[in-house]
Structure 1
Amino acid sequence: MTRFDADDPRERRKLFAEAIAAHRTRASSFVTLEADAEDDDAPRPWLQFGDNTFNVDVTDAELDDLKTLVGEFPEFRVEQLESPETAEGTNARITARSDPNRLATFADRVFLDVYDRPETYRAWVAEV
């Protein structure tokens, strides 16, 4: 990989696919993708992919959107939902056995449809 961020939809998906392929080639534990925050004080939304599983933290409203999105990807399924009493949301684990391009499309859609980022949001590969 030679670049680590993108804000064009096609370039973001290409970036995500390259990061997932690099993660698989290196046999790293996971790859972390992040997107712009809504404002400077808000945390950046993120997701991780490793061992054929996406890991994502969501609010209750975002969880509904995530479940809807997963329904559009028949080869994916929600494997585990955890909502600790001390947390303000849910950690979701989604099994996703597919090629890097399909995984990248899903990741981009998480940021767009679940985290409600604009079409031109900037994303980063934070860790491979």
Structure 2
Amino acid sequence: MTRFDAETAEERRALVEDAIVAHRERTSPFLTLEAELPESAGEDAVPPWIQLSEDTLNLDCTDAELDRLKSLLDEYRSFSVDELVRPEEAEGTNARVLARTDDERIAQFVEDVFRQVYDRGEDYRLWAAEV
């Protein structure tokens, strides 16, 4: 991989597809994708992220984000919630979503999660943080 960030929907989907291929070729344990935080975010803010390992996507959600994720999954029949974990020491829920589809569809899902679940704007920057 020669690029690790993208700012348009088309570029972000291509970045995710390329990162998935690189992740699989390297047989790394997981791929981490992060959305850049807006400048208005506080110092303690954590950027939203999605990890991919084999056919499982892993992400943290607030209750509102989890509701939006469940609604989004109605549009993606090849994706399903595998596990929801609500740690006592943390706020929110860790969601594990199984993806039984191709890389292109995973890339579209990732884009829609950042836009619809995490409420990122049309021009947000996506980083392939760990491949």
- Superposed pair shares fold, TM > 0.5: yes
Match of 1:115 in 2: 118
1:17-96 alignment runs, 5 A limit? 17-38=17-38, 39-41=41-43, 42-96=45-99
Q: Which runs of 4+ in 1 moved over 6 A?
A: none
Q: CA RMSD in A?
A: 0.9
Q: Which one-letter code corresponds to 1:96 in the other structure? A: A
Distance 2:72 2:17 in 1: 19
* Percent identical residues: 55
Partner of 1:97: 100
State the alpha-carbon separation in 2 of the partners of residues 98 and 84 from structure 1: 29
Q: Secondary structure at the match of 1:124?
A: strand
**What's the TM-score, normalizing by structure 2?**
0.94
The unaligned stretches of length 5 or more in structure 1 are: none
SS in 1 for 2:12: helix
User: 1:54 is aligned with what amino acid?
Assistant: L
Per-residue deviation, 1:111: 0.5
- Consecutive unaligned residues of structure 2, counting only runs of 5 or more, are none
**Aligned partner of residue 125 in structure 1, secondary structure:** strand
The amino acid of 2:106's aligned partner reads L
- Pair 1:13 & 2:7 matched: no
Offset, 1:47: 0.6
Q: For 1:91, what is the secondary structure of its paired residue? A: strand
The AA in structure 1 aligned to 2:75 is E
TM-score between both structures, scaled by the size of structure 1: 0.96
Distance 1:67 1:35 in 2: 20
CA distance in 1, matches of 2:3, 2:88: 39
Structure-1 separation of matches of 2:24 and 2:71: 27
